[in-house]
Amino acid sequence: MNEPYSPATPRPISSTSPSTMKMFMGFLTVFIVAQMIGTVLFCLYLHMKMDKMEEVLSLNEDYIFLRKVQKCQTAEGQKSTLLDCEKILKGFQDLQCKVHCCWADKDPAEGGGGLPAEKRQPIAAHLAGQKSSKAVSVLEWKTTMYGPTNNAISYQEGKLKVKEAGLYYIYSQVSFCTKAATSAPFTLYIYLYLPMEEDRLLLKGLDTHSTSKSLCDLQSIREGGVFKLREGDMVFVNVTDSTLVNYNHGSTYFGIFKL
Ligand SMILES: *[C@@H]1O[C@H](CO)[C@@H](O)[C@H](O)[C@H]1NC(C)=O
């Protein structure tokens, strides 16, 4: 009874098994490939997510730092030993220093420990009188060896122009010869130049002539004051008689500096 079955039974199985096997293998391959693609995509997604998380975490750190700074600025915060206020505030100051360049409260003992490259150049200019052959209505000036100049102050035809608005100390000295014969006082003026309207007088110094009989009595008038200038304002110096001005070294000068 067994004989007719035994050869017959494996036959139908063996005839169907290759196709099912093929199908099964195909499914398996598709499944594995799909899984691989899925895994790769998931890894990619995870990686991107991690990057975002890192960003959020670092922002969170910044936020905590700022909260600490805020707390340290209050009286109770400073008492708290939990916050290392000194360190935190120092860190914050360093950060501020990088943004603006604070050198006002920089410890001089630190010396070069600050930010020498970013140190703000003081805005100042000091010029010496420039002799001119004819009488001029605006005195002219030249730079000197030790007198500072600055990009924020420009010079044109006797006038000093400020780039930044602010408080400025403006000063000038003019030395001049006086002749006994003339009676009108020699006057030194500092004007604010206004292109659209009449120039505004800022400072004025007068000197009446000496009574001595010599041809040239050397005298000086010096004046200076603080003024609020706007961006682009120009100031200049003139005198009643520019032919009397003495241009010896150090005698006649014009300068300005920002407070
Ligand atoms: C000095 O400048 C003022 C203002 O521009 C002007 O009115 C005056 O005439 C000038 N003085 C001389 C002597 O040029």
Give the pTM: 0.56
Do residues 160 and 235 make contact, with C-beta atoms less than 8 angstroms apart?
A: yes
What are the sequence ranges of the domains in the chain?
124-258
Candidate CATH numbers 2.60.40.420, 3.40.190.10, 1.10.3720.10, 2.60.120.40; the one for domain 124-258 = 2.60.120.40
Give dist(CA 241, CA 188) in Å, integer.
Answer: 9
Name the residue with the closest Cα to ligand 1, atom 12.
137
Ligand 1 contact via 240 beta carbon (within 6 Å): yes
Q: What separation in Å is there between the alpha carbon of 13 and the centre of ligand 1?
A: 122
Which residue has its alpha carbon closest to ligand 1 atom 5? 199
23, HSE (Cβ side, Cα atoms, 13 Å)? 4
* Ligand 1 close to Cβ of residue 199 (< 6 A): yes
Length of the chain: 259
User: Cβ(137) to ligand 1 under 6 A?
Assistant: yes
Cβ-based neighbours of 214, under 8 Å, separated by 6 or more:
180
Task: State the distance from the centre of ligand 1 to the C-alpha of 212, rounded, in angstroms.
Answer: 29
Residue to mutate (ligand 1; options 132, 134, 176, 189; most atoms within 8 A of CB): 189
136, 176, 191: residue to mutate for ligand 1 pocket, most atoms within 8 A of CB: 191
Cα of 146 from ligand 1 centre, angstroms: 30
Tens of pLDDT, residue by residue, the chain (259 residues): 444 455 444 554 555 578 888 889 999 999 999 999 999 999 999 999 999 988 888 888 888 878 887 887 777 767 676 667 777 777 777 777 666 544 444 444 444 444 455 567 899 999 999 999 899 999 999 999 999 999 999 999 999 999 999 999 999 999 998 776 666 789 999 999 999 999 999 999 998 766 666 677 889 999 999 999 999 999 999 999 999 999 999 999 999 999 9
In our burial notation (b when 16+ CB lie closer than 10 A, e otherwise), range 188-222 reads bbbbbbeeeeebeebbebebebeeeeeeeeebebe
